[in-house]
């Protein structure tokens, strides 16, 4: 009777440990699926940010070119008018 009891206890222990392992595996699988979904979402967001960055960079480059052109235009206009300064019509009192 003692041997039978030992075998039953051993069998119950093995069954419990297998069921706990199965539960852990199920939890792990669920966590992995959630993490995969999060990674996919982050990759999608990363791709969108990359596209936004390219758009912003192109816009910045266009604005830089326009700014440089305007600066050159202002400089050219200043140099044309800097030589012809009106003389003062005030008379000096002596």
Report the C-alpha gap between 52 and 33 in whole angstroms: 29
Confidence of residue 11 (pLDDT cuts 50, 70, 90): confident
Token pair in block for residue 6: 């030992």
Per-residue confidence (pLDDT) for residue 82, from 0 to 100 = 67
Is pLDDT of 89 > 70?
A: no
Which of the pair, 8 or 74, is modelled with greater confidence?
Answer: 74
Question: Which structure tokens are listed for 85?
Answer: 């300064």
For the full predicted model, state whether its pTM sits above 0.95: no
Sequential DSSP letters for 54-65 = HHHHHHHHHHHH
Write the CA distances from 72 to 13, 36, 63, integer angstroms. Answer: 86, 54, 14
- The string of pLDDT tens digits covering residues 58-86 is 999 999 999 999 999 999 998 887 655 55
How many whole angstroms separate alpha carbon 11 and alpha carbon 4? 11
Residue 46 pLDDT: 93
| Model pLDDT for residues 22-56, shown as the tens digit of each residue | 777 788 888 999 999 999 999 999 999 999 999 99
């Amino acid at each position: 009777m003692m041997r039978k009891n030992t075998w039953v206890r051993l069998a119950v222990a093995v069954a419990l440990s297998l069921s706990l392992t199965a539960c852990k595996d199920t939890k792990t699988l669920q966590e992995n699926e959630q993490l995969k979904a999060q990674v996919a979402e982050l990759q999608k967001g990363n791709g969108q940010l990359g596209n936004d960055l390219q758009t912003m960079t192109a816009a910045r480059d266009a604005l830089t070119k326009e700014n440089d052109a305007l600066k050159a235009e202002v400089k050219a206009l200043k140099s044309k008018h800097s030589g012809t300064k009106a003389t003062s019509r005030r008379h000096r009192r002596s």
